[in-house]
Chain A
Amino acid sequence: MKLPDVLIPPPLKKPHKPGTDNGRNGADPLAPVKDAPADLVGWLDERTGGASFLTGMLYRKVPKGTNWFYTLGSATLFAFVVQATTGVFLAMYYDPSPTQAYASVTHLTNDVFLGEFVRGMHKWGASVMIILIYLHMARTFIFGAYKYPRELNWIIGVTLLILTMIMGFTGYLLPFDQRSFWATVVGVNINGTGPFIGPYLSDFLRAGAEFNAATLPRFYAIHMLLVPGLIIALIGAHLYLVVKLGTTAPPWLHPKRTKTTVREERV
């Protein structure tokens, strides 16, 4: 099916060559000012080719029957952006030393302007992100969108799910109150119950046999540097494959049964 062309924006006007006045012959003295925004966009596009890339990505065709369930992935991405943004600002006040962490968290919550709001966004946004990522996974599973040729994107998605769980696990320790301390003790010991490598894994997480001065900075570095970087990279790969492969139609929409498709089904 051919889309009406009006839906897709036309290619951008090429900016005029240096030394010419764009065919205006100096009639309107304000013409360069009026053309400035379009010229700026054209200047960028001429050097990056970004406009055709964006047109191809944003105006790509989607199957008939696409519905609200298809927005769950974007919603998860939005939750991640909220977490990344609020996390950067929380890091401006947080002190990851075992003796100062709790005091710095109470300070940023109670004394800093809007601190309670930013921390609340980060805390509740974490739960929202976990809920959304599971709903997104359920949509993909129930609609059969993990099947050929999208298996690799399912694998990337599961990796992102695991990384998000690691974010939840490492972030839980950071307030360093009684609840987060003991929850982390239990969580690290659960890691330790894995046969053969479990003891080394829990040692790695604690940076030693006991909870010590290096444990909290280690969790903080994993939480704000290591895992977010991996998540951003994998989200890039995830979106690239979504755009490249396209999305699937909902399972209740069947292709028209013609002689050819019926024969293919039998084969």
Chain B
Amino acid sequence: MADAADKTNGPTPEALPKSEPAGYFEGEAMSRRRAFTVAGQAVGGLAGAIIVLPAVGFALAPIFKEPDEVWESVGPTSRFTADTYKPVVFTLVEGIGEAGKTTAFVRKGTSAGNDPYIAISTRCAHLGCPVNFVAAAKSFVCPCHGGVYDFEGKVIGGPPVRPLDRFQTRVRNGQVQIGPRYSVTSHLQPVRYRDPGEYTGGIWNYIYPPRPDTPPPP
């Protein structure tokens, strides 16, 4: 490099100090070439981060969004009894037509329980297929992989890892209303909603952490 410069500009004037080591002049901790390289990489990295980070945040944002609490009326209190479940269809997600609807099975709670009404989600705790309540067997049966649940939603057969999820219920103006979804442990203790296929209770509550977009349990 220095040779090329010498050829075009003629011999180096004696007055200029000789750089020692090459490229470093007196009082410099960094050669100018190195300084410009570092500065160029820093500016390039900053420009890249300004583009990439918002895009990543944009794609990941839904994980951190807390949903609104929606309560929906599904029928008068007189419709539901304690000895069997009645299916109710309601909208879980707005704006996507049939795909946003889901079914729950509702019954009146027994005096021992603390909920006045029990709403069992049809989402199988194995991998999310829709279960059906078979009244003759007093069981919930999943069509996909053969999961079977008893009258309370506890697993009595097949691959599911925990009891069926439930929805919070309340009574307003003589109507039963269904609210946010929650999961239960094998002893029917409420926990925050987990996706199907994830165990609940004990250490599993930490191995499958709840996300901010799932509402707290009742």
Contacts and interface: CB of A to CB of B under 8 A. Distances in A.
A213 interface: yes
A84 interface: no
Interface in B82-129: 92-93, 95-97, 99-100, 127-129
A99 B197 CA distance: 28
Contact of A181 (B67, B99, B196, B207): B99
Contacts of B60: 204
Nearest to B197: A193
B152 interface: no
Interface residues of A, number: 29
Contacts of A212: 93, 96, 100
Contacts of B197: 189-190, 192-193
Nearest to A200: B63
B80 interface: no
Given A98-B97, A210-B92, A185 B127 contact: yes
Interface residues of B, number: 31
Contact of A200 (B144, B193, B211): B211
A12 interface: no
A195 interface: yes
Contacts of A210: 92-93
A42 B127 CA distance: 62
12 contacts: A176-B99, A189-B128, A189-B197, A193-B197, A195-B207, A196-B209, A199-B210, A202-B195, A204-B62, A208-B65, A211-B93, A214-B62
Interface of A: 98-99, 176, 181-182, 185-186, 188-190, 192-193, 195-196, 198-200, 202-204, 206-214
